[in-house]
Chains A and B, each alone.
Chain A
Amino acid sequence: AQSVTQLGSHVSVSEGALVLLRCNYSSSVPPYLFWYVQYPNQGLQLLLKYTSAATLVKGINGFEAEFKKSETSFHLTKPSAHMSDAAEYFCAVSENSSASKIIFGSGTRLSIRP
C-alpha cells in the first residue's frame, strides 16, 4: 500500500533562506510523485511531478525536488525563500496516474519571516 509522510506540519524560514520541505513515501512499485501548493482559499496548484524520468525535477516558482529511491524521499527545495511562497504544500504519491490512486500527505504550512 502506498503512503506519504510529510515531516513537519509547519516550517518557518526567513526571507532569502533555503526552503526544505520533507516528504517520504512508501510504494510497492515505481511511483509517480507530486508536490502541490495551496494558497489560502484556493485550490491546489501543481508545482512539479516525478514520473521516472530525471531524478531532479524542476518546477514552477523556482522549486525543485529530487527523487532518491534509496531513501524513499522526494524533498522539495528552493534556494531563496520569498514572501509569496507562504502557503501549504502537499506531497502526493501514486502508483499510476489515475486520480483514484493518488495519496496526499497531510501538508506542511510554510511561513516566511521578513
Chain B
Amino acid sequence: KAGVTQTPRYLIKTRGQQVTLSCSPISGHRSVSWYQQTPGQGLQFLFEYFSETQRNKGNFPGRFSGRQFSNSRSEMNVSTLELGDSALYLCASSFRVGQETQYFGPGTRLLVL
C-alpha cells in the first residue's frame, strides 16, 4: 500500500506570493491533517479534514487555508507569504477522525525569500 505523498517536495517563493501544497493520503484513509514544522516553534497543528469538511483548526492566521476533495486528497494554501512561513509542511492521514495512529508524508519544504 502506498504511503502518504506530498507534492512538491521543495518550493521557493518570494514574500507576498501565494502557494498551494498537495497531499494524497493512504488509500482508504479519509482524515488528513496538516502540520507546520520550524526550528523555532517545532511541530504545530494547522488543520484536520474529514469527508471534505474541516473538523479542527489550529492557531494560525487566515492566510492559511485548506480543503479536501471527494477522493480525500487535500490541499493547503498560504496567501501573502511571509518570511516566517518558511517551514517543513507535513501532512498526515488516518482512517478516520480521532484515530490516534497517523501516518505522515515526507513533507514539503517551503522557503520564502
Contact = CB atoms under 8 A, between A and B. Distances in A.
Contact of A100 (B57, B99, B107): B57
Given A43-B107, A100-B56, 20 more contacts: A41-B106, A43-B91, A43-B92, A44-B90, A44-B92, A44-B104, A46-B101, A49-B100, A90-B43, A97-B100, A98-B48, A98-B56, A98-B97, A99-B31, A99-B33, A99-B92, A100-B33, A100-B45, A100-B58, A104-B42
A34 B33 CA distance: 17
Contacts of A42: 106-107
A96 interface: yes
A77 interface: no
Given A43-B104, A43-B105, A102 B45 contact: yes
B45 A43 contact: no
A interface, size bucket = 20 to 34
Contacts of B4: 43
- Complex A-B, nearest 9 residue pairs according to Cβ-Cβ distance, in ascending order: A100-B56, A43-B104, A97-B100, A99-B33, A104-B43, A44-B104, A99-B48, A97-B98, A43-B106
Interface string B88-113: 00111010011111111111010000
Interface residues of B, number: 28
Contacts of B106: 41-43
A44 B6 CA distance: 13
Greatest chain B CB density within 10 A among A45, A94, A99 is at A99
Nearest to B105: A43
A98 B105 CA distance: 18
A99 B107 contact: no
A5 interface: no
A34 B99 CA distance: 13
Contact of B100 (A32, A41, A104): A32
B58 A107 contact: no
